[in-house]
Homo-oligomer: A and B are copies of this chain.
């Protein structure tokens, strides 16, 4: 199969479901014959960005590094999936301009819902002031204005969001239509 690499960029608040969706999408694309790498924010912080903090400058540096690696992969016909809070619009738009085929997925979830779920207990600590510079609490999150896809993780199941993402990638002709879709179309 002729493959053209591209980057799928999941942005959203902590706990919104970025990594969950990235990890669901990965095997789905692999099953269709594509090469895929997931660049998860936490993994990248360990391997490429240890020492960086959570100032705007350091966050932007971290995002540019993930973008640099996505570009290396995408230009070698790999689908790069990034999952990182990436709170600042300007640096996301910079990546949109510099990378080929940048597909932005906004994983949207209201803060009260996230604080209620609070899987890692981070919102409780941030609201109590025990963690500083926590995105959405005392640090900004600039939502995308025109993302290719919005996943509403408070009202959709992960599988529903996944279906939307795959449909959009097919519509953009970044991936081939699945055999089931093709069969239905005939």
Contacts and interface: CB of A to CB of B under 8 A. Distances in A.
Contacts of A47: 64-65, 68
Which of A48, A52, A68, A76 has the most chain B CB atoms inside 10 A of its CB? A76
Interface in A1-54: 35, 37, 47-48, 50-52
- How many of chain A's residues touch chain B, expressed as a range? 10 to 19
Contact of A73 (B50, B65, B73): B73
Nearest to A37: B72
Contacts of A78: 76
Given A48-B69, A51-B51, A51-B52, 17 more contacts: A35-B76, A35-B77, A37-B72, A37-B76, A47-B64, A47-B68, A48-B48, A48-B65, A51-B61, A69-B69, A69-B72, A72-B72, A72-B73, A73-B73, A73-B76, A76-B76, A76-B78
